[in-house]
Structure formats: C-alpha cells, structure tokens
Chains A and B, each alone.
Chain A
Amino acid sequence: MTEVLFYVFATVLLLAGLLVITAKNPVHAALYLVLSFFTAAMLWMLMKAEFLAVSLVVVYVGAVMVLFLFVVMMLDINFEELRKGFWKFVPLAALVAAIMAAEMVAILLHPAAQIPGAQLVEPPPGYSNVHELGREIYTTYFLPFQLAAALLLVGMVAAIALTLRKRKNSKYLNPADQIKVKRDDRVRMVKMSTEAKPTFEQPKADGESQS
C-alpha cells in the first residue's frame, strides 16, 4: 500500500514540478508549486517524518507561497515577454535533458546501484519524531544549525540593503529635529537699505524685498 501511494505522490510531484515551469499564468505556476510542496510533504509523511511534513506545509505552503502569490499579483510583469526565448531553446534543452535523464535512469536502475537494507526502520513505541529532531539539532548538528541562522541573517541584511530606499517625497517629521529647532533655523533677518517711497506712476518691480 505504501509503495502504491509513493508512486502516486511521486508522479503528482513530478507533473506539478513540470507544470510550474511550463504554466503560462504565473499564478497557476505558483499554485502548482504549492501542489508540489504538498506532495513532497506527503512523501515525508510516508517515511513517518510527520514533523517535517507538517512544517513543510505550514512554512512553505502556508507562509512562503502565500507571500509569493501576493508578490506575483502586485507586480505588473508581462511573463509572456520574459518567456519569449523559452520555446526557442526548448528543443535543444529537451534533448540535453533527455540524454541526462536517460543516463541517470540507466545508472540508478542498475542492480549495483541498489542499496541493500535501505528499508525504513520501524520506530520503537513511544518514539517521538520531534524529540529526536530537537535533540539532534542541538547536539550533533549544533554548528550547521547556528550557521543556518547566520545564513538567514545574511538573507535579511541583503534584502534590506537591496530594497530599502529613502523616499524623496516622504513627508515625515522628525520630533527630535522639531524640538531642537532654534530661532535662527526659521527666521532670517534681512538687512535692507532704505528706499524712497515708490511713486504711483512707476511701481518698482521688487525682487529684493522677499528674502
């Protein structure tokens, strides 16, 4: 039964992945990506890695892909325009991909490439997936875990560095500047020479009276 389910999910996963890159509408592509994440989560579920499966759905499907859909809908990009070169290169790319796939299948189906004893171990009763995962992450995999955190920090710094712009026309007030303001910042005394009263016939065009 598990085997049948595996092949079903694997087929759906591959088809969804293919549709992600061939779908004309970017929203459809994003939805196919959701589908592929979901089926990948199901594959993990079959391997009894419930926590990973659930977190994949929650994190990727629930958070990342929803944000992604938002971005796709907010941006006005003509994806057909971007894809213009796509069909031109498909024959060559398909040929290369087919050769690679054939070679990979030939090797992976070879009897020598089968791993003996690669069946899943039946976990003992009371075995907790989350507990084991947590223990491993904070003991054996402590260094990669911390480095992954550094990686996320880099991602954040990079995103801010590349996108944060001070808007030129933003009309915000800095309270500190407002409090610190001095008289000289606002009022300017202009010294002017005294002038004769302009006569009625010749009103002087005064460019100097206004500071």
Chain B
Amino acid sequence: MTWTSLNAWVAAPEIFLFCATCVILLLDLFVSDAKRGITHALALIALVVTGVLLVYGYSPAQQFGFSHMFIADPLATLAKVGMVIGVALVLIYGRSYAIDRGIFKGELYSLALFSLLGMMVMASAINMLTLYIGLELLSLSLYALVALRRDSVESTEAAMKYFVLGALASGMLLYGMSMVYGATGSLNVFEISQKLLIDHEGNKLLAVFGLVFIVTGIGFKLGAVPFHMWVPDVYQGAPTPITQLIGSAPKLAAFAFTIRLLAQALEGFTPEWRQMLVVLAVLSLAIGNLTAIAQTNIKRMFAYSTISHMGFLLLGILVGSAVGYAAAFFYAVTYMLTAAAGFGVVMLLARQGFEADRLDDYKGLARNHPWFAGMLLMVMFSMAGVPVFVGFFAKLAVLKAVINLGMVWLAVFAVAMSLVGAFYYLRVVKLMYFDEPESSGALSGSLFSRVVLSLNCLALLFIGLYPNGLLSLLTDAVVFSLPL
C-alpha cells in the first residue's frame, strides 16, 4: 500500500477543498468582525479553485481511488461542478443578508464548505460506508447552519426538527444498508449489484427488505411525501441563505446518491424500487402542489414547491434507463439554478428587520424595481414550466422518459399537477405586476451579487432557449458512467 496505489489524485478537488476549508477555519480566527470580507473572499477563491480542478480533471472514464472507495466518473464530476456553483451562489447572495442578521461569521463559511465536501463525497462514493459518511457530513453541517441564528426561536425550532427527523432518516438508511450488507456480504456498490444479479448469490429477500429502508431514507433526505414533514418548517425557520443552501446544491447530491444506491447497487431490483418511487412521486406532486396554494409565506411556498419538484426528479429516476437518469440529472441541475435564483431575489429584497418572506411583500415590485421583478418573473415561469424557460424543457425531458416507459397515466397526472402548481407561481407574478406597492422597499446586496443574480436568472432563459448543449452533456455523462 503506497501513495500511488491509493490513487488519491482522483480526489484532488475534495482534498484541496478539505485543506482549504481547514486553512480558512484557522485564518478566520485572526480576522476581526469588521474584516470578515477576507473570509468571504477566501471561501470564494477556494470554490473557484475546486471548480477548476474538477473541470481540469474531467475525463469520460471511470477512475477509481482509495481502494475502490471513491470513483471519479463524468456523472460525479458534473454533479460536483453544479454543487460548487450552487454553494458559491449561496455565499454571494447571502453576504449582505448575513451581515444584517449578525451571522456573518467564520463558521458560516467553514460549515458551508464542509457541507459541500459532504455533497462531493456523496456524489463520488461507491462504498456504502463512504456514502453514509458523506451524507452525515452534509447533514451535520446543515443542522448547525440552520441553528446559526441562535437567538431566533424559529431557527432553533427548525434546527431541532431537522436534526431529529434527519437522525431518524439516517438510522433508517443505515438499517437498510446493513440489511443489504447482510444479504450480499459486501459494501461496494458494484459488488452488491453483481451478487444480486447472479442467481444463488446473495439473499434476495433480505436485500429487498433493506431496499425498503433505503428508499425511506432517501425519501426523507429528498423531502418526498410522506417524508416531507420537516421541509416547510426548516425552509421557513432557517436564515434565507441557509434555506438556499438546503434547497439547491444538496438536491444534486441527493440525486447522485440515489443513483449510486438504486441505479447501481440495487440495479437488479429496478421493478421493486420503481413501484415505491411511483408512490413517492405521485404523493409529492399532489401534496406539494396543492398545499403550496395555501401558503402566504414565500419561503414556505418554495418549500412545498421543492417537494413537488422532487416528485418530478423521482419520476425521472423511476424510469430506470439512461434517458430517465439523464432527464432527472438535467432536472436536478436546472432546479438547482432556479431555486438559487429564487432565494437570491428574496435575499435581495430582505434588509435589516425585514425578511421579505410574505407574499404581500412582493406587491407592486415591478413598479419599484422593474429589473428584479423581471428576474423573479423568469424564476417563477421557469418553476411553473412555461415554455422557453428552462423548467419547461426539464419537465419535458422527464415526461418524455416516463411516456417511453409506457406509464402515460403518470405523465398525465404530472402535467395536471404542474398546472395546479402554475397557479401559485403566477400569483407571485400577479402580485408583482398588477398590485399596488405597499412600501417602497430598498434593495440590499452589493453590485457584484446583483450582477451574478441577474446572470443566474438570464441563464434560466438562455438554457431554455438552447437546452441541447447541457442536455447532451449530461446524457453523455450518464451513459459513460452507468453501464446500462
């Protein structure tokens, strides 16, 4: 066992990120509150370098490292690039919000970077143990981040709920993994799938038993109905940058995690987990969209909208083919960008003592700030799935895959529920453009964050106009990574 046999360089971005995070953690101790911008800049530089390392290391092949604990394949690498962008957007948009709320501290940055490390490990791990530790690294950082505004009762309550339910979900997942381990005698994703595909090798009944718990755990982490109870409270209670962090990049990590567990390890059980995912997807689409109508708080509305979008993500995954996985991947990437932009606008309108989280706060926004009202309009249209915006093509790709599978009723149901969903997205547009403003709110945020936010929103339009580049890139990645 030498350093070369470890093949550690396949994890170069992760190793760099970990070292950079530790350095930032230490340097931050010597930085006074007034100069916290240094930590902010260093964190962004670390993210940029990680992103460059990822892009530089991209190759259409499967590279293993750390004694088959770690894989660098196109799927993982692209998902990781998306996560890095997602976390960078959180840091950029959240800066002035964090300063106003007194959470502009070093821990915000170190914990956010650690959560990114957890997500990257989740995307690349091919051993159940490593997958689980990556998930815990992500979850633990997020629990702490939710509670970071410790004098706020809402945040503390949200953190408590998130922690208790997250711990329960981790327990379920771990129990399922232990059953699969018992059935196959292996923790490695590829070995498990081989053992289960060959007859008389591995205990099928026990593995299906474990599968149920694994799907439950994944459902919890994705926030799919009936395991969605934590989502609205956490979204509402957490400081908005943290809500953005929970609502954007981890969805990509959860997608990759689900692919590793269901599509790779438990590939032989596709018909079994498809049934379970159908139930989760149908319930998520229905309850997510219907409950969102009744919300008056925009963060809560986004929470229920996330639940319904996770339903769509599950629709793509349950197809169980390269087309389906590619559609789900595209959905996850574009949803990450859309959600980031949505929360970015919420934070732009928020200022000291004003959260801008009630729907009424958006009345007449077009009169006061026509440019950013237009940006939020694009976000809402994209989420609702109005053509030319990217959300439409994401939904279209998923629905095509579902129809190819022959489950037309499911596609029709998804479309019907999207129509229901369009109501509450368009209501925001109506409030912005046709109602009288209640107050002339000033915008917070630096010029840099406003420019990035505008670019983010315009990207939704641009990818919507030219979806083929990204879609074919992601499809190629899925085809390279999953031998189907």
| B partners with A | yes
* A residues at B contact (CB < 8 Å): 104, 107-108, 110, 112-115, 118, 138-144, 147-148, 150-151, 153-155, 157-158, 160-162
**Smallest CB gap from A118: residue in B:** B182
In Å, the complex CA distance between A90 and B63 comes to 51
Measured CA separation A148–B137 after assembly (Å): 8
Question: What 14 new A-B contacts, CB under 8 Å, besides A112-B203, A162-B144?
Answer: A104-B209, A107-B205, A110-B205, A115-B183, A118-B182, A141-B67, A142-B67, A150-B137, A154-B114, A154-B144, A157-B107, A157-B114, A158-B111, A161-B111
Residues of chain B with a CB closer than 8 A to A140's CB: 67, 69
User: From A116, which residue of chain B is reached at the shortest CB distance?
Assistant: B203
B129 touches A154 (CB 8 A): no
Query: Is B147 part of the contact surface with A, judged by Cβ < 8 Å?
Result: yes
Question: B137 contacts which chain A residues (CB < 8 A)?
Answer: 147, 150-151, 154
Contacts A144-B127, A144-B133, A158-B141 hold; do A150 and B209 have CB atoms under 8 A apart? no
Interchain CA distance A112-B127 in the complex, whole Å: 26
Please name all residues of chain A whose beta carbon is closer than 8 Å to the beta carbon of B34 when the two chains form the complex.
none
Report the separation of the CA atoms of residues A107 and B22 in the bound assembly, to the nearest whole angstrom.
47
A113 touches B1 (CB 8 A): no
Name the contact of A155 in the complex, choosing from B25, B140, B204 (C-beta under 8 A): B140
Taking a contact as CB atoms closer than 8 A, the residue among A113, A114, A143, A157 that contacts B144 in the complex is A157
7 A-B pairs with the lowest CB-CB distances in the bound complex, closest first: A158-B144, A161-B107, A143-B66, A143-B69, A112-B205, A147-B133, A113-B205
Q: Find out whether the CB atom of A113 lies under 8 angstroms from the CB atom of B209.
A: yes
From residue B441, how far is it (CB to closest CB) to chain A in Å?
31
Q: Does B190 contact A (CB under 8 A)?
A: no
> Contacts of B204 on A, CB cut-off 8 Å?
112
Could you pull out 21 A-B pairs where Cβ atoms are within 8 angstroms? A107-B209, A108-B206, A108-B209, A113-B209, A115-B206, A141-B67, A141-B129, A142-B66, A142-B67, A142-B69, A143-B67, A143-B130, A147-B133, A151-B137, A153-B114, A154-B137, A154-B141, A158-B141, A160-B107, A161-B144, A162-B144
Q: How far is the CA of A93 from the CA of B203 in the complex (A)?
A: 31
Question: Is the beta-carbon distance between B134 and A147 smaller than 8 angstroms?
Answer: yes
List B contacts of A143 (CB < 8 A): 11, 65-67, 69-70, 130
- B203 and A115: CB pair below 8 A? yes
In the assembled complex, the CB of A201 is this many whole angstroms from the nearest CB of chain B, namely: 55
Which B residues, 188 to 207, have Cβ-Cβ distances below 8 Å to chain A? 203-206
Compute how far the CA of A70 lies from the CA of B436 in the bound complex, rounded to whole angstroms: 58
Question: Known interface pairs A113-B209, A144-B69. Does A157 touch B111 (Cβ–Cβ under 8 Å)?
Answer: yes
For A150, what are the chain B residues with a Cβ–Cβ distance below 8 Å? 18, 114, 117, 137
* Chain A residues positioned under 8 Å from B182 (CB to CB): 115, 118
B25 contact set on A, CB distance < 8 A = 157
Verify B140–A158 contact, CB threshold 8 A. Answer: yes
CB distance from B98 to the nearest CB of A (A): 13
Let me know if B140 and A154 touch, CB within 8 A. yes
Within 8 A of A (CB), among B104-150: 105, 107, 110-111, 114, 117, 121, 127, 129-130, 133-134, 136-137, 140-141, 143-144, 147-148, 150
A151-B140 in contact given A108-B209, A143-B66, A144-B133 (Cβ < 8 Å): yes
* B110 to chain A: closest residue by CB: A157
Bound CA–CA A9/B18 (angstroms): 42
Min CB distance B412 to A, Å, is 33
* Nearest CB of B to A146, in Å: 8
Residues 1-29 (chain B) with a chain A CB within 8 angstroms: 1, 6, 11, 18, 22, 25
